[in-house]
Amino acid sequence: MISSATMAAVDENAAALGVPRKQLMESSGNAVARRVRELVDPGAAVAVVAGRGNNGGDAFVAARFLDDYDVTVHLLGRPESITTDIARENWDALVECEYDAREVRDSRALDLGDPDLVVDAMLGTGVSGAPRDPERSAVEAIDATDAVVVSVDVPSGVDADTGEAAGVAVEADHVVTFHDAKPGLDALAAEVTVADIGIPPAAERFVGPGDLRSIRRDPNASKGDAGRVFVVGGGPYTGAPALAGQAALRAGADLSFVAVPESVKTPIQAYAEDLIVQPYEGERLTPEHVDDLVRTATDHDDVVVLGPGLGSADETLDAAREFLASFDGRVVVDADALPVVPEVETDATLVCTPNRNELAEMGGPEVDDLRDHLGEVEGFAADLGHVVLAKAKDDVVSDGERTRVCRAGTPGMTVGGTGDTLAGVTAAMLATHDAFDAACVAPYVNGRAAELLEADHGDGLLASDLLEAIPRAVWGERDA
């Protein structure tokens, strides 16, 4: 099963891997034509009713694979109003090659004749709301025929994610959907075929640019909606919590609080005026601070980053244990706090971000190349009961059931502090994504930021350089 949003991400990832959308459209159209052949004999009258998006584009391709049928293509609207280049190119090809391709300027002018089969390619996953004219009238016209109806991807008017129709919808006999089953097709009376359109498994396995689609700002959001991040770190080290807090802001969090020992408050505040420093007494985190920290994080529904720069004094690790045992919100656990995770029962949602050594210390696989041991990382995440983002040249992310790989990054990232920026980005993502998706997209953002800087910085990259590039990695120019 795949949602429309994931499908769109996978499709963009496939293009980035060298399998462009137009190629997928060719396979989709071919698959629709194959289904038509199975259902009616050569010579049969086939009416293709196409909308102006890629759903229609799939059907323009199908028409080219049905030369031994009596095919008429009806485009609902003017060719200039076709919304994508690839659909328009396929329409233009029909016209140039003198297929029977007609423009329907007025929905009342749609004349389907008496076809044996109708290909419904008006609205696919790009539908929003109830079908409007000319699609609305065309739905009624299709439902009024006695023809066999084959819908492309999803019956027009039906939401592929929910199966619900906001208004009229095509009553399909058959649906040819692509790549994977869609949740909304399950309950329909139609017979559903899933066509393999050549999307490589790598487009799903490797985190790619399509995954950035999940990061959106709600234009009506108010301060705090994009997340408050609360870094619990610092003491022996000061740079780590400051990097994590700033990276969270750069990746879209609205506010970044950093809870640190009084003794290091001044240097940490001096790093960045954007951080809100909340000091607690002493020189390091100890169990007596935990109640206050849990209360603050709980009251504000903060995403916590626990670990950066905390050090590994016994009483600090006791405090980390107690924090996790009594907090039930979302936490990115990094660095010094990682070894306590296997020892605690917690109701919190954790994303653990170990490097290879920390992974081994937690009881995970001790291997050189995590990519060769995906099953072991998955098994470890399953035993741990938390999402694991195992950092290496190629990061491996698993929730115990799903496992993905992130290949973004540069050799320069071995410099200290890039794990701290990753922890901060992960927290920002955890504010707006579920734990697994946050853990997948965050290393892609962090790694892509380094890639954007590679030409200028090479192996002289600093973690603090990443801060400036993170927004570009998230919101910079991308393919449509």
Ligand X SMILES: NC(=O)C1=CN([C@@H]2O[C@H](COP(=O)(O)OP(=O)(O)OC[C@H]3O[C@@H](n4cnc5c(N)ncnc54)[C@H](O)[C@@H]3O)[C@@H](O)[C@H]2O)[C@@H](O)CC1
Q: Binding site for AMP: which residues? A: 419
51 or 308: CB nearest ligand X:
51
Does position 123 interact with ligand X (CB under 6 A)? The reply is yes
Distance in Å, CB of 149 to ligand X, minimum? 15
Does position 245 interact with ligand X (CB under 6 A)? The reply is no
Does position 346 interact with K ion (CB under 5 A)? The reply is no
Residue 151 interacts, among K ion, ligand X, none and using kind-specific CB cut-offs from 5 to 8 Å, with K ion
73 or 123: CB nearest ligand X:
123
In the list 152, 169, 389, 423, the residue contacting K ion (rule: CB under 5 A) is 152
In the list 135, 161, 302, 465, the residue contacting ligand X (rule: CB under 6 A) is 135
Q: Both ends of the chain: CA-CA distance in Å?
A: 24
Distance in Å, CB of 325 to ligand X, minimum? 44
Distance in Å, CB of 247 to ligand X, minimum? 31
Distance in Å, CB of 415 to K ion, minimum? 51
137 or 418: CB nearest ligand X:
137
Dist CA 475 CA 471 (whole Å): 6
Q: Binding-site residues for K(+), please?
A: 55, 120, 156
Residue 156 interacts, among ligand X, K ion, none and using kind-specific CB cut-offs from 5 to 8 Å, with K ion
83 or 296: CB nearest ligand X:
83
Subset of 43-82 contacting ligand X (CB under 6 A): 51-56, 58
In the list 19, 25, 335, 449, the residue contacting ligand X (rule: CB under 6 A) is 25
Residues that bind K ion in the complex, under the rule CB under 5 A: 55, 120, 124, 151-152, 156
Contacting residues toward ligand X, per CB under 6 A:
7-8, 11, 24-25, 28, 51-56, 58, 83-84, 123-132, 135, 152-153, 178, 197
